Structure 1
């Protein structure tokens, strides 16, 4: 069977100097990591929160401040932290007017994130926020019932390929990918054996998949 803890999401950190030109790189790094974690739906919110937390350091602590971005899972929530060395300049949630040029940073974080706060440590301040992922567990998948059905099918398929005396073992994601390729190849053989156009079926499946994923993005 496939191990239900199927997505390794190890905490990571990125030290940098708090400068405006660093923001684009930070957004790119977040996008890359979250897509690798299977959390594509959280990318935009995470990028906005990280950008605003970094801007808060630039505006209220100073340009060039040594800063660290830390991203991890807090249960089933995505946690974003920005560490800086100033324990005096605390982020504040302000009610910015429509004509205000500033003061919207933490208001945006408050609107996008499910919760946020500040931790003071001996040598630094940690401003954090958490975004709900909808996962069942911190290392679970976010694909919904279709992914659950696919995992069950792959587990059965792998068991059928094993010698009778062998005991099915837990499949890693990499191993499951190899099994999935074999499943697809065997289905193409089955289609051809029954007089069906395998390429046409693949095109239909791809079109169906893209339509469903586009609906998920804009839902």
Structure 2
């Protein structure tokens, strides 16, 4: 299968600059391609890369399993990186219910994606409009200055 037909919306050629937007068929094999999009947008060396890949994969999986996108439709992923902020949005074909960040039992085999999103992201949200659902998250790189030891004071 060909790589995703992504395009840079703005920014330069280097990973981590600008926004990338891709429309994917609503099939499970596309989750790996979503990870490729995040790699193209951020680069593997980006300090937020691992968390962004995990959360984008979760949102893509949710779009396929819990919306009309997985019934022969499409979903769109956008990744925008600017300085210390990364924003990812997954827009799907919508469903009859709103996404739920409900806690699941210890024996449940699903239902952990949105709680992960809630735990790892700086902030996130849901937009339901014109029959579609968009779930987005932001990751912010926070650096904590090293404390000086008592001996150095």
For residues 100-119 of structure 1, the aligned pairs below 5 Å read 100-119=108-127
TM-score, normalised relative to structure 2: 0.73
How far the C-alpha of 1:120 sits from its partner, in A, is 2.2
Shift of the 53–72 alpha-carbon distance from structure 1 to 2, 3 Å rule, reads same
How far the C-alpha of 1:72 sits from its partner, in A, is 1.3
The structure where strand makes up a greater share of residues is 2
Question: Larger Rg: 1 or 2?
Answer: 1
Unpaired segments of 5 or more residues in structure 1?
1-5, 136-219
Whether 1:45 aligns to 2:64 is no
TM-score, normalised relative to structure 1: 0.52
Shift of the 75–121 alpha-carbon distance from structure 1 to 2, 3 Å rule, reads farther
**Structure 1 Cα separation of the partners of residues 47 and 84 of structure 2:** 14
Whether 1:18 aligns to 2:26 is yes
- Residues 61 and 89 in structure 1, CA contact (< 8 A), matched pair in contact too: no
**Structure 2 Cα separation of the partners of residues 102 and 87 of structure 1:** 18
Moved over 6 A (4+): none
2:80 alignment counterpart: 72
For residues 191-206 of structure 1, the aligned pairs below 5 Å read none
2:104 alignment counterpart: 96
1:82 alignment counterpart: 90
Q: How many equivalent residue pairs? A: 129
RMSD of aligned Cα (Å): 2.6
The structure where helix makes up a greater share of residues is 1
2:139 alignment counterpart: 131
**Structure 1 Cα separation of the partners of residues 83 and 42 of structure 2:** 16
For residues 166-181 of structure 1, the aligned pairs below 5 Å read none
